[in-house]
């Protein structure tokens, strides 16, 4: 008996996953617990393991396809076993009611199901991009399905058959489009999927639902930069500026708990924990691992936790519970030279702190003496349904007070 491999549900909000890569191919032997494919969903690349010993009989979902939760991915069974039952074939002489007559010149090489060419979504988009007529291509995928490699092969060899033998080739359209956008020569069309799709959906949802305000505060971090350098040199450690910002923010939140709130319909939820989400940029999006109970950690523990989470986020090794449960978030773009920006709130948090670049400035004191100081701006975006401007300003001043007096961060 052949066993079905289906798209797992890796989280309560997961609706679909993208098949990223098949580790095993049709005909390969597999064992229970062995990885057979990789999927991308909800900002993570996850491995799917076989639950049975046997042979990978048939791959149903091709790489690049979005498959709903519980959707069929493949069959595993004994070598030579029929996978998924024999395909139904219509009797040659049996009339089909209300079916349109088939023209005598209709091509017989086109694999069809109900009159439709069997082609994967990725292959269809690739064909549109390359201008390949796939109606005469014989697919090499399961049940004759046309897959991307068939389109690429046809584009390279120029052997794609026309839609009908006697029909002239259809004229190439003057311009191709991707949705409402006209494509120009050299443009590339890539599917919005995986992490990038999740980021797009969540940022749009946040921007549409939350009335936000962003307030910017300038902080003199001259003493902090000197203090950090002294500690690193004397103790032989490598605390980053971000470590001090995380620690200072956690302490400020503990003393300004009115910032730790969420809204749920007509209810306000007062959060009990200072769980700081730390935005980490990836090649194809971003992820926000969470430092749980950050206010209870010392600088050394916060530094180690932040570095560990960031490293595992960049290598897709985070557990699902490690990027959930934030009650506040921080996005640091200072290393990129960003002077100020308006970060988007990571729901259900009510606020996010944007950290900007440290810059040198000349300052004149009351006696007319000029000195060089180092300044940094923070941009606090908050949900105006829950937090008022003056309330937000008190929190910002608490953060500034700590960063301008670095010894207080550690006390």
Catalytic residues: 384
**Helix (H) or strand (E) run with residue 351 in it:** strand 351-364
Residues 271 and 261: beta-carbon distance below 8 Å = yes
Sheet holding 66-68, edge to edge: 44-49, 35-41, 16-22, 66-68
90 by DSSP, 3-state: which? Answer: coil
DSSP 216-282: EEEEE-HHHHHHHHHHHHHHT----HHHHHHHHHHHHHHT-GGGSEEEETTEEEE--S--EEE-EEE
Which tokens belong to 21?
């890569």
For residue 194, give the nearest of 64, 288, 96, 324 by alpha carbon.
64
How far is 350 from 342, CA to CA, in rounded Å? 14
């Amino acid at each position: 008996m052949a066993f079905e491999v289906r798209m797992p549900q890796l989280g309560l909000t997961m609706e679909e996953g993208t098949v990223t890569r098949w580790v095993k191919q049709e005909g390969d032997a597999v064992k229970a617990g062995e990885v057979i494919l990789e999927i991308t969903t909800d900002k993570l690349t996850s491995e799917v393991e076989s639950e049975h010993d046997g042979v990978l009989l048939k791959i149903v979902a091709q790489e690049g396809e979005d498959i709903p939760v519980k959707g069929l991915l493949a069959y595993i069974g004994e070598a030579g076993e029929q996978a998924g039952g024999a395909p139904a074939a219509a009797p040659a002489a049996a009339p089909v009611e209300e079916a349109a007559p088939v023209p005598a010149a209709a091509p017989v090489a086109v694999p069809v199901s109900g009159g439709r060419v069997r082609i994967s979504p990725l292959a269809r988009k690739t064909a549109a991009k390359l201008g390949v007529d796939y109606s005469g291509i014989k697919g090499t995928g399961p049940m004759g399905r046309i897959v991307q490699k068939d389109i690429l092969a046809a584009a390279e060899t120029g052997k794609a058959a026309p839609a009908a033998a006697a029909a002239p080739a259809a004229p190439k359209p003057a311009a191709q489009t991707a949705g409402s956008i006209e494509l120009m020569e050299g443009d590339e069309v890539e599917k919005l999927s995986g992490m990038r799709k999740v980021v797009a959906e969540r940022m749009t949802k946040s921007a549409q639902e939350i009335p936000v305000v962003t307030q910017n505060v300038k902080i003199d971090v001259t003493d902090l930069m000197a203090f950090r350098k002294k500690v690193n040199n004397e103790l032989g450690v490598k605390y980053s500026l971000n470590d001090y910002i995380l620690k200072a923010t956690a302490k400020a939140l503990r003393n300004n708990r009115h910032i730790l709130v969420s809204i749920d319909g007509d209810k306000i939820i007062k959060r009990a924990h200072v769980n700081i989400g730390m935005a980490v940029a990836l090649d194809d999006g971003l992820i926000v691992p969470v430092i749980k109970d950050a206010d209870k950690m010392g600088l050394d523990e916060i530094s180690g936790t932040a570095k560990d989470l960031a490293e595992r986020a960049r290598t897709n090794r985070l557990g699902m519970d490690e990027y959930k449960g934030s009650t506040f978030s921080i996005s640091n773009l200072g290393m990129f030279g960003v002077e100020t920006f308006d970060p988007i709130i990571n729901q259900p948090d009510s606020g996010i702190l944007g950290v900007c670049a440290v810059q040198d400035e000349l300052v004149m004191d009351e006696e007319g003496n000029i000195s060089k100081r180092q300044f940094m701006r923070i941009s606090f975006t908050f949900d105006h349904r829950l937090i008022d401007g003056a309330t937000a300003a008190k929190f910002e001043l608490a953060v500034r007070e700590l960063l301008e007096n670095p010894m207080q961060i550690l006390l």
